[in-house]
């Protein structure tokens, strides 16, 4: 399991296209704040447009993908020449997904690499086809595009500290992979520095510069992501889940879980299973405007 794939798999995102904006003239799209558990995205295939959210503004060119991990309200404006823009969202697990996207910047903007662009073209063709199996194909394409967006062009993203940006650092990426694969291990700063073949001081400087957070914060986030996954996908007792993610005391684990996710492990398990039993629907087609 690679570090990035493992993180995304824990979040269990489900992509949907809300609208395909195919215009011959100017357009302004006002997007309100997204509901909890929803990350809006915009994928531009042709033309140019500008995404503005709060004090942040970014110009999108053909092949650009923009995610808003915190679900902030935003506006997309395009000039008179028209655009071909897919607007959609990813719905994620409230536990692991919330922790993953919380550690990302407010706006993630990348230029897709050639393999990802090829998938985007398949997405466009599938949207035009809109036939049998389109829903499954579009969902799979959006899942792949999310991973390819998060790994795309490390040079574009290492200047924005966060968990996902650390994936572009070969050394830190390897260390994070170890934590993901064995969250129950006693991961001290000294042990992590040793895994990275660095001195403690050098490791801490590099870690802070790449992630913008502390080792303790990142360790807790990864452990709570793993715990949320175990609680929703297995019948392991809470005490056993605590041990699997590195806590000797159920009470200490429950306290950390509540601090991270705002609810108790038992209640999280009940609510996540209720959502699964009700099922989550996805849109089959997207309107064109």
Three-class DSSP labels, 69-135: CCCCCEEEEECCCCCEEEEEEEECCCCHHHHHHHCCCCCEEEECCHHHHHHHHHHHHHHHHCCCCHH
Domain locations along the chain: 3-156, 164-274
225 phi-psi bin (left φ>0, alpha ψ -120 to 50, beta other): alpha
Round to whole Å and give the CA distance between 27 and 25: 7
Helices vs strands, H then E, count in the chain: 12, 9
pLDDT band at residue 271, thresholds of 50, 70 and 90? Answer: confident
Instruction: Specify the pLDDT at position 163.
Output: 60
Instruction: Specify the pLDDT at position 282.
Output: 35
Instruction: Specify the pLDDT at position 63.
Output: 92
CA dihedral over 52, 55, 58, 64, signed as positive or negative: negative
Q: Strands of 49-53's sheet, edge to edge?
A: 27-31, 74-78, 49-53, 56-60
Instruction: Specify the pLDDT at position 157.
Output: 47
Average pLDDT, the chain: 85
Instruction: Specify the pLDDT at position 281.
Output: 37
Instruction: Specify the pLDDT at position 210.
Output: 80
Q: Is the pLDDT of residue 84 over 60?
A: yes
pTM (two decimals): 0.76
Instruction: Specify the pLDDT at position 64.
Output: 93
Question: In this predicted model, what pLDDT tens digit does every residue of 120-138 receive, in sequence order?
Answer: 989 888 888 777 778 888 8
Instruction: Specify the pLDDT at position 169.
Output: 75
Instruction: Specify the pLDDT at position 273.
Output: 79
CA dihedral over 116, 117, 119, 123, signed as positive or negative: positive
The beta-carbon contacts of 181-190 under 8 Å, at least 24 apart in sequence, are: 181/1, 181/6, 183/222, 183/223, 183/226, 183/244, 183/245, 183/246, 184/243, 184/244, 184/245, 184/246, 185/246, 186/246, 187/219, 187/246, 189/215
Round to whole Å and give the CA distance between 6 and 147: 10
Q: Is the pLDDT of residue 286 over 50?
A: no
SS3 244: helix
Instruction: Specify the pLDDT at position 36.
Output: 87
pLDDT band at residue 106, thresholds of 50, 70 and 90? Answer: confident
Angle, CA 225 vertex, CA 234 and CA 267 arms, to 5°: 60
Instruction: Specify the pLDDT at position 1.
Output: 40
Q: What is the CATH number of domain 3-156?
A: 2.60.120.280
Question: In this predicted model, what pLDDT tens digit does every residue of 175-233 receive, in sequence order?
Answer: 888 888 899 999 999 999 999 999 999 999 999 888 778 899 889 988 998 999 999 88
Q: What is the CATH number of domain 164-274?
A: 1.10.10.60
Instruction: Specify the pLDDT at position 283.
Output: 36
């Amino acid at each position: 399991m690679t570090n990035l794939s493992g993180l995304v798999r824990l979040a269990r995102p489900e992509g949907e296209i809300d609208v395909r904006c195919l215009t011959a003239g100017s357009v302004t799209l006002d997007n309100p704040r997204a509901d909890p558990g929803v990350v809006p995205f915009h994928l531009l295939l042709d033309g140019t447009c500008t995404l503005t959210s709060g004090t942040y503004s970014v110009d999108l060119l053909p092949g650009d993908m923009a995610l808003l991990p915190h679900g902030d309200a935003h506006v997309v404006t395009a000039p008179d020449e028209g655009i071909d823009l897919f607007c959609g969202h990813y719905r994620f697990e409230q536990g692991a997904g919330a922790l993953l996207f919380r550690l990302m910047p407010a706006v993630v903007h990348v230029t897709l690499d050639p393999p990802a662009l090829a998938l985007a073209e398949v997405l466009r063709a599938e949207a035009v086809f809109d036939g049998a199996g389109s829903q499954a194909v579009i969902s799979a394409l959006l899942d792949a595009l999310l991973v390819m967006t998060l790994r795309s062009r490390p040079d574009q993203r290492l200047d924005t500290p966060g968990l996902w940006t650390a994936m572009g650092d070969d050394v830190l990426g390897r260390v994070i992979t170890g934590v993901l694969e064995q969250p129950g291990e006693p991961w001290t700063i000294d042990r992590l520095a040793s895994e990275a073949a660095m001195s403690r001081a050098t490791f801490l400087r590099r870690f802070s510069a790449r992630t913008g957070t502390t080792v303790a914060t990142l360790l807790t986030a990864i452990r709570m992501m793993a715990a949320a996954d175990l609680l929703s996908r297995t019948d392991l007792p809470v005490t056993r889940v605590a041990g699997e993610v590195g806590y000797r005391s159920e009470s200490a684990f429950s306290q950390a879980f509540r601090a991270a996710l705002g609810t108790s492990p038992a209640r999280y398990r009940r609510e996540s299973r209720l959502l699964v039993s009700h099922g989550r629907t996805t849109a089959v087609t997207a309107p064109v405007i």
